[in-house]
């Protein structure tokens, strides 16, 4: 049965999983939560930021593999992961086109960090007018708005994009070409990423270990999972590979699953986890456990990634912001995988986008700021297997269990039949002995004893029938 699973769970035309891999049937939802700052003036004077979480703003995420083609004699497959988003008002707290959020002015901070240390450029940016915080609609923050400062900068630098949005150009687009292993040669390679954008290694970080592209893209996992193994996932959003370890057994719609979650060591400091030293491009990039500065792959912008509410991070980051409350139930990232098939039965991907606030020489508005990791938004991308897919998986698991346990059933049936045979043999033997006893008895030759002076009374054998006669 395992050999058959290995042969059928492969990324080739006609296999059981190929169509669902290209067009996943379960609905995927993307929730966005924003942090609205309520004491801007006080923060500019050096006070502790106070934020209020606003959300979710929920979108149905449609994803499919585009331009799929087999390469390397069918041992690999090339594809683009295209995603599009449709707003769901009934699952949201408000209208993204109306609701206003007060947050960090990310384009302004990006420009200030770009020109810091250059007196004349800093002077020019100050003259253009740069603000530390901004008021924007949720729609603008997500999908893009025309920024006045970027427009002015683009006049002298035409390559500068004048529109900014956290999800700008991500609706109906893709992250670039992926080449995956089909699993034909080795089932353990099923869905493993070989190259991204034509490269097998990243170039953002300082070490080969940090630049490595390992595991899948999070959409496919090999069958016959083991609790002791570590799951690797390459995530373009973080510009790196992360890993997950087994946490516990769970059940989703009657389907058994292993829950895998990223441990603290994934975003640990280089002191806690020396393997993470390569993510510190400069000493200033190492911010501590629970944070990853992704500036190298975000055009130098001071963007910092973390788990929501700084979950699994050092306490000081959550304590620096009034309104942070990290909770495992709401902020943990996890994958629930059926161990037999490797199919995702439930998943929650949760990540937070932050901005590093600090004093920048040449910009007076930042002079009183305390160095703070300021939370802008966190997302929750969730999926749960649909009922039709769950029924097919349950049927497959039932067949697998029956086939796997058939030898035990045969052995058990044989034991039962053997016991029945023994019981019947014992019973037949007893009946035979009873019949023999009934056919033979001991009695005197006559009613009158014959005395033998030497041997006593004489007793002879005669059949019972003769005696009765």
Which of 109, 106, 115 lies closest to 140, judged by CA?
Answer: 106
Could you report the per-residue pLDDT of 249-308, keeping only the tens digit for each? 999 999 999 999 999 999 999 999 999 999 987 776 788 999 999 988 887 788 999 999
Residue ranges of domains in the chain: 1-402
The beta strands (E) that lie in 17-92 are given as: 28-37, 51-71, 76-87
Cα torsion through 206, 104, 165, 170, rounded to 10: 50
> Residue 118 has what DSSP assignment?
-
Q: Which residue has the tokens 């008895």?
A: 441
> Residue 159 has what DSSP assignment?
T
User: Measured between alpha carbons, how far is 166 from 144 in angstroms, rounded to an integer?
Assistant: 7
User: Measured between alpha carbons, how far is 193 from 201 in angstroms, rounded to an integer?
Assistant: 11
**pLDDT of 404:** 64
Query: Which residues, 6 or more positions from 49, have their beta carbon under 8 angstroms from its beta carbon?
Result: 37, 39, 43, 320, 321, 322, 372, 374
Give Cα 420 distance to the centre of its chain.
52
> What is the model's pTM?
0.84
Which of 149, 104, 166, 107 lies closest to 355, judged by CA?
Answer: 104
Residues of the chain with pLDDT under 50: 448-450, 464-469
**pLDDT of 277:** 92
């Amino acid at each position: 049965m395992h050999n058959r699973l290995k042969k059928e769970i492969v990324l080739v035309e006609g296999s059981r999983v190929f169509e669902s891999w290209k067009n996943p049937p379960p609905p995927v939802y993307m929730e966005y939560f924003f942090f609205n700052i309520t004491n801007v003036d006080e923060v500019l004077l050096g006070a502790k930021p106070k934020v209020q979480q606003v959300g979710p703003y929920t979108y149905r995420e449609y994803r499919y593999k585009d331009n799929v083609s087999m390469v390397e004699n069918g041992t690999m497959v090339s594809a683009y992961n295209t995603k599009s988003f449709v707003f769901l008002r009934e699952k949201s707290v408000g209208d993204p086109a109306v609701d206003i959020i007060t947050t960090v002015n990310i384009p302004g901070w990006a420009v200030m960090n770009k020109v810091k240390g250059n007196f004349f450029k800093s002077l020019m940016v100050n003259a253009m007018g740069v603000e530390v915080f901004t008021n924007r609609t949720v729609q603008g923050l997500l999908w893009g708005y025309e920024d006045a400062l970027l427009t002015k900068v683009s006049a002298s630098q035409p390559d500068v994009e004048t529109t900014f949005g956290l999800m700008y150009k991500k609706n109906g687009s893709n992250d670039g070409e992926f080449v995956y292993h089909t699993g034909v040669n080795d089932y353990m390679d099923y869905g493993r990423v070989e190259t991204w954008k034509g490269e097998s290694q990243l170039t953002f970080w300082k070490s080969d270990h940090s630049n490595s592209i390992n595991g899948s893209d999070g959409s496919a996992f090999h069958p016959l999972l083991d609790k002791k193994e570590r799951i690797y996932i390459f995530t373009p959003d973080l510009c790196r590979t992360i890993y997950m370890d087994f946490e516990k057994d769970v059940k989703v719609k009657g389907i058994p699953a292993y829950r895998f979650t990223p441990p603290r060591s994934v975003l640990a400091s280089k002191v806690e986890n020396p393997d993470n030293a390569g993510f510190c491009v400069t000493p200033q990039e190492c911010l501590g456990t629970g944070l990853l500065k992704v500036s190298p792959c975000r055009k130098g912008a001071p963007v910092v990634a973390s788990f929501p509410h700084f979950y699994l991070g050092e306490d000081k980051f959550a304590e620096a912001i009034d309104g942070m409350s990290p909770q495992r139930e709401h902020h943990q990232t996890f994958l629930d995988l059926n161990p037999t098939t490797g199919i995702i039965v439930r998943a929650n991907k949760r990540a937070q986008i932050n901005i590093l606030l600090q004093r920048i020489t040449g910009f007076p508005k930042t002079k009183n700021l305390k160095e703070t990791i300021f939370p802008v938004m966190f997302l929750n991308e969730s999926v749960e297997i649909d009922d039709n897919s769950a029924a097919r998986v349950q049927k497959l698991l039932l067949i697998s269990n029956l086939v796997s346990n058939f030898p035990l059933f045969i052995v058990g049936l044989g034991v039962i039949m053997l016991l029945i045979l023994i019981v019947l043999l014992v019973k037949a033997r007893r009946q035979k002995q009873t019949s023999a006893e009934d056919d033979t008895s001991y009695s005197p030759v006559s009613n009158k004893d014959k005395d033998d002076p030497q041997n006593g009374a004489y007793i002879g054998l005669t059949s019972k029938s003769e005696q009765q006669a």
